[in-house]
Structure 1
Amino acid sequence: MKVAWYGNKIKITLFNGYQWFCQVFEKLGPSLYDFLKRNRYQPFPVELVREFGRQLLESVAYMHELRLIHTDLKPENILLVSSEYIKVPSSKKNSQDEIHFKCLPKSSAIKLIDFGSTAFDNQEHTSIVSTRHYRAPEIILGLGWSLPCDIWSVGCILVELCSGEALFQTHENLEHLAMMERVLGPVPEHMIRKASSSAQKYFRRGTRLNWPEGAVTRESIRAVRKLHRLKDLVARNADHSKASLADLLYGLLRFEPSERLTAQEALDHPFFRIPGPT
């Protein structure tokens, strides 16, 4: 067996002539999802969410300048550069008033990974992309997708980082749309009218979501009903930054793709007008 280096690639030649190329990357820390999980899904402070969001949007802005769509943005694909963390007292206490602790990363530096499903804006697109919880409404409705589908995913990620839980925890399209309406208001009628034939079944008379009539289970109805409006959800987790964060999220999570903020517009939002990452 022979091994040769080519930049950040390793070429491995076996005795039978077969060759393998392996890319080598720097060692990074855990994903933001893994960090949340280890932290018992306690949310990040808003200051950290701000720095994570800034870097994520900078990465997305760069990709979108190249007309590249990531298509699979989620906390699992955002890695902390360092594994180091500190323990701080948590606001949560048990019935005996014992002090609990939560972990915070020492550095807010992150890197975006997993470009396996990345697509150019002008190439042929598959009908379904993005991991379910972060999938934009235009994908579910069969309206096609482009750069703004990444922006929707960023909005979902920021909500999850500041709340500790995925915004839309669902595995079924109708329930997913019902959750979106619960959090953000009704789907615009013009999008419903243009929806694909396979998506029309989610609506009654072509204008109203078939919910809760079309719900598969009572548990599904309860899962939707327990969700809060976006502004209320942010108010529960963002304290002094709730107004600017809510305004940013409403810009990222607009149903109509053409009305969403671009990554660069989001970076210019007042929510990010403070010093950069540590």
Structure 2
Amino acid sequence: MLSFRRSRRFLCAIVICTILVIALNGLLNINIHILKYDKNIRYFVDSDNTHRIVNERDNSNEFDNEQTSKIPSSIQDGKKDNFDVNKQIPFNQWSEDSIAENRNILTSNSQSNKKIMKRDDKSVEEIQNIRRNKETLNEFEIPLFDENIFRIYNDEGKTSTLQREEMEVKFPITPTDAIRTFGKYLSPWEQNEIFSYSNIWYLGLDANKTQSHPTAYDNYGFDYSSGAKKGHYKLAIRDHIAYRYEIVRELGMGLQGIVVEAIDHSNNESVALKIVTGNMKSEIYFHRELEIMKFIEANATDLDYFTHLIDYFRFRNHWCLVLELMGPSIGLGAIEDADVMRRYTNDTFHGLYYLHNLNILHSDVKPENIMYIRGKTNQSEGQLLKLVDFGMSCIPGSTDHKCGDYYLQPRFYRSPESILCLPVTTKCDIFSVGVLLVEFIIGFPPFMGNNEVAQLAAMMQVLGFPPAHLIDISQRREVFAAALDFTILNGFHQNPYLRNLNELLEGLNPLLIDLITRCLKWDPKVRITAEEALRHPYLTIN
């Protein structure tokens, strides 16, 4: 009897141990999808321990039908009925359903797979072989893994995002492929906007992207709403522009827009990208600059002295110009090297010569708009500089590219005819160059007024009285009258000829003084031309 009891206890212990082993095995048997690839067959061990076999030679299987049923029908058919590539859907018209539908391409894969194990090198090689031989797969088949980014989940639920540089996605890709592979990293705005572009070259996934909102105020959140930057596009370094250009750094900002250095990922070239301010006045300047640059590109006999127009487009309600990337501007201050001074003068007049041959008035000649060719320095051989920024350019006498009556030029470089509202010609640029040459010598512009009256008074202080016949035909004689009696802040009058030009330039090369004097003539009819300046002894005699 005792032996029987001991046997029964022993059997019970065995049963209990068996139950514990089974339970422990169940706890340890976490739901892991093991992905194995063998040529054309894909095996899956699902969470319910059922095996799903997908034969790439036969796409009519249970797994594919289950997965593709989650994709919008328009994408299953290889169409984009719901997305017009030439139309952007306003943010405030989006619905949760439309956003969710776009996300299905991504979530349909991630929802059925809880944990993804890291592949070894052999598996990677097998995967690459399969992709090279994948000839019969549907165009919109959902990939089993992200080619560039994948996640590893550990037992604590923590995740880490890894970049596989050796397996980067080859761009360009289609918007559908971009959503499928990178959709979880794109904002809701981008997930709809991206279908307006046929080729996706760059996504800016690691940028600190601007967050949009559904109202039109401040351009759906993409523009600054106040301050000096009001109406300017909010830059995010390393973000994309039009899914092609990568923002590298800001180069400069003005009233009409902001200029950035960018990488064109379609050819890996560095470019300058001018993003125009989102207001009506700036758009007028944009269209003027665009038309002038097109005209120059089509008609100039030498394009080497102007920045090149590469492309233009509209992005998030901002017009954008893609331009040749230049070096720094010549900057402000005096130039001590006589040879550099001569080279600056020569390049500037060459640019104006080819521009004026087309009867184009640049109208914004100043140090900031004369820039080094990229990679050039004062020690480089050959041409150094180019003219940039044609936003204020016009063609005198033209109806299509009409010049304004006045306020054509920046104040310190403004010609007398701009101030007195006289007929404008390309000679306005020559006066600006004369001012610029004096600035190269003394380190600052010779005429510096805080308004037009003060500016004209400063001109008369150095150049004397303007000819009487110019005042007679002026439409702004009151400006001249006020300048005659102009008093500066300390109570002194700015009398004409208080310091004449020869005294200002005393001790310089007489040939340079003569060239400057010819540039700063009151009467544009007797002012030197760019062609004559290039033949002047200062530039022809070494």
Q: What is the letter of the counterpart of residue 30 of structure 1?
A: P
Matches within 5 A, 1:97-116: 105-107=378-380, 109-116=384-391
The AA in structure 2 aligned to 1:235 is E
Q: How many pairs does the alignment contain?
A: 234
1:126-137 map, 5 Å: 126-127=404-405, 128-137=407-416
- CA 1:50 to 1:191, structure 2 compared with 1: closer, same or farther past 3 Å? same
Identify if the C-alpha distance between structure 1 residues 22 and 119 changes in structure 2 by more than 3 Å, giving closer, same or farther: closer
Match of 1:151 in 2: 430
Shift of 1:220: 7.1
Determine the C-alpha separation between the residues in 2 that align with 1:194 and 1:20: 40
| CA distance in 1: counterparts of 2:491 and 2:430, whole angstroms | 30
TM superposition shift of 1:221:
4.1
* C-alpha contact (below 8 Å) 2:356/2:426 kept by paired residues: yes
1:30 aligns with 2:328: yes
Counterpart among 200, 205, 210 of residue 484 in structure 2:
210
Q: How far apart, CA to CA, are the structure 1 residues paired with 2:506 and 2:318?
A: 55
One-letter amino acid matched to 1:200? E
Q: How does 1:1-278 map to 2 (within 5 A)?
A: 1=194, 2=197, 3=199, 8-9=310-311, 22-26=321-325, 28-33=326-331, 36=332, 41-82=333-374, 105-107=378-380, 109-123=384-398, 124-127=402-405, 128-196=407-475, 198-203=476-481, 210-211=484-485, 214-215=486-487, 217-218=489-490, 221=493, 228-236=499-507, 238=508, 241=509, 243-274=510-541
Mean Cα deviation higher: 154-163 or 174-183: 174-183
Q: Identity of paired residues, percent?
A: 29
Unaligned runs of 5+ in 2: 1-193, 200-243, 245-265, 268-308
Q: In terms of mean alpha carbon deviation, does 5-14 or 71-80 score higher?
A: 5-14
| Contact kept? 2:334, 2:439, Cα under 8 Å | no
What do you get for the CA RMSD once the two structures are aligned?
A: 3.0
Task: Please say which of residues 178-187 and 134-143 is displaced more in the overlay.
Answer: 178-187
1:20, distance to aligned residue in structure 2 (A): 6.3
Which TM-score applies when normalising by structure 2?
Answer: 0.39
- Deviations along 1:228-270, one digit per CA (max 9) or x if unpaired, are 321122225x3xx2x1011111111100011101100011100
1:75/1:22 CA distance change after superposition, 3 Å: closer
| AA aligned opposite 1:192 | I
Q: CA deviation at 1:82?
A: 4.5
Q: Distance in 1 between matches of 2:313 and 2:479?
A: 51
Change (3 A) 1:110 1:216: same
CA drift at 1:106: 3.0
In the TM superposition, residue 60 of structure 1 has moved relative to its aligned partner by 0.4
The amino acid that maps onto 1:173 is E
SS in structure 2 at match of 1:235: coil
Shift of 1:11: 5.5
For each residue in 1:157-190, what CA deviation from the matched residue of structure 2 results, as whole angstroms up to 9, or x when unmatched?
1111122111211122222222212212221111
